[in-house]
Amino acid sequence: MLAMDQGVVEEWLSEFKTLPDSAVSSYAASLKEKGSLVPALYKVIRENYSDLLEPVCHQLFEFYRSGEQRLQRFVLQFLPELLWSLLLAPSAARDPHTSGCVEALLLGIYNLEIVDKDGQSKVLSFTVPSLSKPSVYHEPSTIGSLALTEGALANHGLSRVVYSGPHLQRETFTAQNRFEVLTFLLLSYNAALSYMASSSLQSLCQLSSRVCICGFPRQQLRRYKGISSRLTVTSEFLVQLVTGIHYALCNGEMDLGSKALDDVLYRAQLELFPEALLVGNAIKSSQQCAALKSGGGKEGACIIQVEVTPTSSRISRNAVTSLSIRGHRWKRHESQEVSVDSDPAAPGGQGSSIPEISVTMPNGDSLRPRDPRPLTQPEPEPLGSASEVSPTHDLSLRGQEVRRQKSVRRLVDEGSGPASAGRAQY
Query: Tell me: the pLDDT tens digits for 202-219?
Result: 999 999 999 998 888 887
Write the CA distances from 71 to 25, 60, 113, 370, integer angstroms: 9, 9, 14, 109
Which of 104, 95, 10 has the alpha carbon at shortest distance from 48?
95
pLDDT of residue 181: 93
178-208 as b/e, with b when 16 or more CB fall inside 10 Å?
bbbbbbbbbbbbbeebeebeeebbbbbbbbb
Do 28 and 70 touch, CB atoms closer than 8 A? yes
Pairwise pLDDT comparison (357 vs 46), residue with the higher score:
46
pLDDT of residue 321: 57
Confidence of residue 305 (pLDDT cuts 50, 70, 90): low
- What 8-state DSSP symbol labels residue 164? E
Confidence of residue 160 (pLDDT cuts 50, 70, 90): confident
Confidence check: pLDDT of 144 > 70: no
The maximal CA–CA distance of the chain, rounded, in angstroms, is 145
pLDDT of residue 167: 85
pLDDT of residue 239: 95
Confidence check: pLDDT of 307 > 60: no
Q: What span, in angstroms and rounded, lies between the C-alpha atoms of 208 and 186?
A: 12
- What 8-state DSSP symbol labels residue 121? B
Pairwise pLDDT comparison (128 vs 261), residue with the higher score:
261
* Residues above pLDDT 70, as percent of the chain: 62
User: Is the whole-model pTM more than 0.85?
Assistant: no
Query: Coil, strand or helix: which one is 352?
Result: coil
pLDDT of residue 419: 47
Q: Which residues contact 45 (CB under 8 A, 6 or more apart)?
A: 53, 56, 78, 81, 82, 85, 102
Quote the Cα angle for 188-192-195, to 5°: 155
pLDDT of residue 409: 79
Q: What is the tens place of the pLDDT at every residue in 4-16?
A: 778 888 889 888 8
Confidence of residue 274 (pLDDT cuts 50, 70, 90): very high
Confidence check: pLDDT of 199 > 60: yes
Alpha-carbon torsion, ordered 416, 422, 425, 426, to 10 deg: -130
Give the residue-averaged pLDDT of 110-123: 87
Give the residue-averaged pLDDT of 402-413: 78
Determine how many CB atoms are found less than 10 A away from the CB of residue 256.
22
